[in-house]
Amino acid sequence: MFKFLNSTPARLVTLFLIIQTAVLYSSIRPEYVPPSRPLAQVPHEFGSWNMAQESFVDKETEDVLKADDTLNRVYRDTSTGDQASLFVASFRTQRNGKTPHSPKNCLPGSGWTQLSSQNYPVDIGLAAPVVVNRYVIVHGDERELVLYWYQSRDRVVADEFKAKFWVVADAMRLNRTDTALVRVIVPIANNDEARATKTGVDFVRAFFSTVQQYLPA
């Protein structure tokens, strides 16, 4: 009996029941959708990192993504020449089918193959490191390092299952379901994953507190 309660099927059933309860409860009251500043106003500079390129999500991708606001830029470190891309998709609500798409599902659809994946702690100067997803992808001769996470206010979540849990918890406690997907991609030169990881971590440290100000508080 107790073994079953601790099993994955039991946890899935429990989560389903919690979601059902949250949906029924939240449907009788309007959701609180917090205000936020446009991501287009995010600075073009983070310390030694300067924006090198800005792209915009095309209509077809926008229709699939269903994000309320997006940021898609490439930054370059003027002191080292290193480059990193920053993508943020902000969802003010996750009702009506709006939900972040995991890069682990999206990038393979673009022809990239995952070589490795792990949770990775990043020290951004808080009391404890934040834990993000770190994985390496390959497309032909190209290799890239990806760091990504889900962020709601000051909460950083790497695991997709836990991110869904917190959506339900926030819907029940706070009557809100806003979140954001934050993704950093760094090219891996000469198969040097350690160098790419350091570049990605340095970039996250540079922008984290600033970008956080443009997400709902």
pLDDT tens for each residue of 80-130? 999 999 999 999 888 776 778 788 777 776 788 889 999 999 999 888 999
3-class DSSP state of 204 = helix
**pLDDT (tens digit per residue) in 12-50:** 666 666 655 555 555 556 788 888 899 999 999 999 999
Q: Model's pTM, two decimal places? A: 0.84
Q: How confident is the model at residue 165 (pLDDT cuts 50, 70, 90)?
A: confident
User: Under a CB-based contact definition with an 8 Å cutoff, are residues 199 and 84 in contact?
Assistant: yes
Question: Tokens 């995010």 sit at which residue?
Answer: 42
Domain segments of the chain: what residues?
1-30, 41-212
Tell me how far CA of residue 140 lies from CA of 103, 113, 144, 208, in angstroms.
Answer: 19, 9, 11, 31
Residue found under tokens 């409860």: 25
Token pair recorded at residue 143? 């290799």
Q: Does pLDDT of 9 surpass 70?
A: no
